[in-house]
Amino acid sequence: MVFSSSVFLFAFLPAFLAVYFLMPKRAAKNIVLLAFSLLFYAWGEPVYVWLMVFSIGFNWAFGFAISKSATPPLRKFLLVADLFLNLLILGFYKYQGFLAENVNRAIGEEFIAELNLALPIGISFFTLQAITYVVDVYRGQVKAQKNPLYLGMYIAMFPQLVAGPIVRYSDIEAEIDNRRATLAGFAQGLRLFCVGLGKKVLLANTAGTLADSLLPREAAEIGFVGCFSGVAAYTFQIYFDFSGYSDMAIGLGKMMGFDYPRNFNYPYTSKSATEFWRRWHMSLGGFFRDYVYIPLGGNRVSTPRFVLNTMIVWGLTGIWHGAAWNFVLWGLYWGVLILLEKFFIMKVLDRLPGFVSHIWCAVLFFFGWLLFAVTGLSNVAEWFCAMFGAYGFTGTSTLWELQSWSYVSLIPIFIVGSLPWAPWLRKKLQAWAEGDPRRAVMAAPAKGNEAVPPCQAELAAPAASPARARAVLAVNIAVDVALLAVLVLSAMSVVSSSYNPFIYFQF
């Protein structure tokens, strides 16, 4: 089940909200959330729901045992055992086929049988969440959850179960028992859900239609125009797809009183590879920083060890995304670029106009998505060559056959959709409403972020000036009407179209 499906929008979500808010006690709400989360997962993975329940059970047991143990060696043994079991399950289901294929190819015979296992949806995300819980219990940063059902609710929580953001237990520890759902919070969450649904259905699916028609084809067949158009379309598709899902997840959490961490902060406005990864999939970057990079020593080590630590993190980031060599290469690509920026490139870019840095970063993520989207290293090499004209302008196809021209008018919409114009405009309007052009304060800052995501909070009405108060009210009403239109258009698109992929389900 996906958020942008008829069954979720018109059946599952209304039923869940009705039952959830009918429950008078917080404990009952938590059980309802767990039950609906398991139903949500079983809808798409009926065979693997037992795996989810098993993950909940053993992570609860290890976390509880660690909290009760006062012997450091035993605590460390329990932690290592839990990490081993989590990673063993993830590795078996996600990487067994990849390992078997490469080992068998290396030795020239079938040494390991390829089991062709179906990948349990969201296993990478809920495994990392479980790991953060047990590690934080070991570190003493959170208390072990005594109630296994409540831990199950955290691990299986359907809003962010299958594609993030990666929510740490510490993010919602207090909210499990003490969260408070309000009408204002529900409205903010609904607004953000509408924004995310529009990103996914109206923008990502549109860009994905072109991307999916070009990416599977040979570079020699479609030439420069086809290859460039395919990667450009994928660049917008993956952003709107994943950030849209994150917006919907955060919005659903806010409806219930949970404050999930922000996962995207307009990454396509970045000026460097380092900044890009501070803005893209922020919860994953935070995980690798706090649970891999810093334990390895971070940057408080010798230069050779710093280089090694960085490459380990980025190698793991690549392989986490998928069991294929192009993902490994993609991760190492970003690791090398970040190191080059650290030691050389940023010293040059800092002396140049800002637009040069923007162009530099745009080139980086464009070719990065080429590695990400095109499977097979030989195909990647051919597509790379096509970008520099190796197969001509259109290859063996005609411009009409490639259909790229029909998407040209949508490029400004995609660009505007990926820029922070909404927060910028809100700041200007808020400053005007308050009568102080020097001030640009958001009405309700998001936890851990400098700015509220677009449409998550209303403009605050000024204390004085009735005319400006009426203007603010009119703007808020106009925004809500626009979001209602986005919701209606998205729902119509969901009902009428069978094309509705979610890219990050495969990771």
Q: Which of 179, 214, 231 is the last residue of a domain?
A: 179
Phi, psi for 150 (deg, rounded to 5): -70, -40
Residue 252 CA to residue 193 CA, distance in Å, equals 7
pLDDT tens digits, residue range 325-345?
989 999 999 999 999 999 999
Confirm whether 488 is domain-assigned: no
In this structure, the answer to whether residues 108 and 192 fall within a common structural domain is no
Domain count along the chain: 2
Q: Which of 417, 451, 469 is the last residue of a domain?
A: 417
Mean pLDDT (the chain) is 88
Helix (H) or strand (E) holding 29: helix 26-44
Mean pLDDT, residues 59-73 taken together = 93
Q: Which of 128-142, 446-460, 478-492 has the lowest mean pLDDT?
A: 446-460
Kindly state whether residues 175 and 199 are assigned to the same domain: no
Among 168, 271, 321, 427, the one annotated catalytic:
321
The pLDDT of residue 445 is 41
Average pLDDT over residues 224-242: 94
pLDDT tens, position by position, 466-482: 777 778 788 888 888 99
Task: Please give the pLDDT value at position 436.
Answer: 60
pLDDT of residue 362: 94
Same domain, 140 and 247: no
Question: Is 441 inside a domain boundary?
Answer: no
pLDDT in tens, 256-315: 999 999 999 999 999 999 999 999 999 999 999 999 999 999 888 999 999 999 999 999
Alpha-carbon separation of residue 135 from 83, 117, 254, 363 (angstroms): 9, 29, 26, 37
In a domain, 64, yes or no: yes
- Altogether, the residues listed in the chain come to a count of 507
pLDDT reading at 458 higher than 90? no
pLDDT tens per residue, range 480-498: 899 999 999 999 998 887 7
In a shared domain, residues 396 and 282: yes
Task: Assess whether 389 and 303 both reside in one domain.
Answer: yes
For residue 446, is pLDDT > 70? no
Task: Write the DSSP string, 56-81.
Answer: HHHHHHHHHHHHH---HHHHHHHHHH
What pLDDT, on a 0 to 100 scale, did the predictor assign at position 151? 94
d(CA 256, CA 20): 9
Q: Are 270 and 312 members of one domain? A: yes
Q: Are residues 254 and 141 in the same domain?
A: no
216 lies in the same domain as 96:
no
Is a pLDDT exceeding 50 seen at residue 443? no
Confidence (pLDDT) at 11: 93
Residues 206, 84, single domain; the answer is no
Is residue 433 a part of any domain in this protein?
no
* 321 is annotated as an active-site residue: yes
Q: Rounded to two decimals, what is the model's pTM?
A: 0.90
| Domain assignment of residue 305, given as a range | 188-417
The packing angle between helices 354-373 and 219-256, to 10°, is 100
User: Is 116 part of a structural domain of the chain?
Assistant: yes
pLDDT at 415: 92
